[in-house]
Amino acid sequence: MDVFSDLIRGVRAHGSLFGRSTLSPPWALHFVDGAPLTLCTVLTGAGWIVPEHRPPEPLRARETIIVRGPATFTFVDEVGTRAEPLTCGERYATPEQGGTRNRLGWHDCGGDAGDGAGATTLIVGAYPVRGEISRRLLDALPIVLRVGGGDTADPVLDHLAAEVRVDAPGQQAVLDRLLDWMLVCTLREWFDRPGSEPPAWWAAQRDPVAGEALRLLHTEPAAPWTVSTLAERTGVSRSTLAKRFADQVGEPPLTYLTRWRMTLAADLLVEQQSATIADIARAVGYSDPFGFSAAFKRVRGTNPSEFRRTATAASPATERPVPAPTTPAD
C-alpha cells in the first residue's frame, strides 16, 4: 500500500454534512462545526473565504478549497459585506434561519437566493476524521489549500452538482463516494503543485529506492524489518538504502517504521478495547509488550494504557479486529 492511500483511509465521507447553496449578494455563511476538513467548490460566481485569525482569500468559479479545522471560517460575497452571517453546520441552516435543512445539509440559504446574474453557487462537504493515522495527513496540510479554477471540465464536479439537487434512493451513498473521490483528487493536485511544500513522503514515493521501501513498510508494518532485509527487498546495498531513504524522507528507515507502528498502535488501542497491550504489540511487530510500551512512550509521550484511557474518554471506540501479526520483532 502506498503512503497516501494508507493515511487517507480514515478520512471518509459517511453521512457527512453536504450541501448546495445558491446565494445572491449580499451573503455570508459562517461555518461553526469545526470539522477537521471542509471541502468547498464554487460552481458559479465568486466570493471570499475568511478563516479564523487569517487574512481573507478570494474564491473563483470552478475553484476548490479545503479548510483544515478546528477553527471556524466564513464565506462572504465580499470582504466587509453588510450581510448578517448565516450560521451553517450540522445543527444549523433551518427554515427559520432562511434556509431549507434536510438530511444532506442546506441549500438556498442566502438573501434572495436564485440562479440569476450575480448569484454564487457553492457545494460544501464537511469531513469527520477519525484516528491517529489520518491525523498524520491533516498535520501535513495548511489551514487553507486551493486547486482548480478556470473553465476546465470536471465530470466529478458536474456529477456532484447534479446529484445534490435530487432526492432518490442511495443519494447519500453516491454523494459520499463522489466527495471521497473529489477529496483525493484535490489533495493529489495540490501536493503536485509547484510551491505547495508537500510532506517529504509524497515526493519520496516516486523515488525507486525510498518509494519501494515506504511501500514495503506500509504493506507489512509488523514484519521483522532490519536495514539489511529492507535493502535486500529493494535490491540495493544497506548504505544506499539508508542514505537514499534519509535524504528523501528526512529520517532513517527504522525510525520512520517505529513512528508508523506507534501510529497504528494508537488507533488499535482505541478501536479494539478488548485487546490486551500484548495483543496490540504483536499486531504492530513486537513480541515483547514491555519493549512495545517503552517505544510507544518514547514516540507518543505516554504509555499505551494511559493513552487508551484518555483517547477512549474523548471518543468512544468502535471495535474492529486486531490484524493478524506476522513474525514479530523484539
Q: pLDDT tier at 140 (50, 70, 90 boundaries)? A: confident
Q: pLDDT tier at 231 (50, 70, 90 boundaries)? A: very high
The pLDDT tens digits for 283-301 are 999 999 999 999 999 999 9
Of 49-53, 62-66, 149-153, the poorest mean pLDDT is in 149-153
Region 132-146 average pLDDT: 85
Tracing cell 514516540 back to the chain, one arrives at 299
Q: Where are the alpha helices (DSSP H) in 69-223?
A: 131-139, 155-163, 171-192, 200-204, 210-219
pLDDT for the residue 303: 96
**Residue 307: pLDDT over 50:** yes
Q: pLDDT tier at 315 (50, 70, 90 boundaries)? A: low
pTM of the model: 0.78
> Both ends of the chain: CA-CA distance in Å?
24
Q: In b/e form, how buried is each residue of 207-216, taking b as 16+ CB within 10 angstroms?
A: bebbbbbbbb
> Structural domain boundaries of the chain?
3-192, 204-314
**Residue 17: pLDDT over 70:** no
pLDDT for the residue 154: 75
CA distance 243 to 230: 13
The pLDDT tens digits for 80-120 are 887 777 666 544 443 443 433 333 344 444 444 445 556 78
pLDDT for the residue 296: 97
pLDDT for the residue 88: 65
The pLDDT tens digits for 142-172 are 888 888 765 566 787 788 777 777 778 887 7
Q: Which CATH class is domain 204-314?
A: mainly alpha
**Residue 253: pLDDT over 90:** yes
3-state helix, strand, coil in the chain (%, to 5): 40, 20, 40
Within 8 A by CB and 6+ apart from 64, the residues are 39, 40, 41, 146, 147, 148, 157, 182, 186
CA distance 281 to 224: 13
Burial of residue 314 (CB within 10 Å: 0-12, 13-18, 19+) is exposed
pLDDT for the residue 97: 38
For the chain, the average pLDDT equals: 81
**Residue 183: pLDDT over 90:** no
pLDDT for the residue 323: 47
Query: Could you tell me which residue, 25 or 102, shows the higher pLDDT?
Result: 25
3-state secondary structure of 292: helix
% of the chain with per-residue pLDDT over 90? 35
Q: In one letter, which amino acid is 301?
A: G
pLDDT for the residue 238: 97
DSSP 163-198: HTT---TTHHHHHHHHHHHHHHHHHHHHHHSTT---
pLDDT for the residue 27: 83
The pLDDT tens digits for 270-287 are 999 999 999 999 999 999
Sheet holding 73-76, edge to edge: 57-59, 47-51, 73-76, 28-31, 86-88
pLDDT for the residue 14: 57
Q: pLDDT tier at 217 (50, 70, 90 boundaries)? A: very high
3-192 has which CATH code? 2.60.120.280
Region 168-194 average pLDDT: 85
pLDDT for the residue 173: 80
pLDDT for the residue 123: 81
Query: Could you tell me which residue, 320 or 186, shows the higher pLDDT?
Result: 186
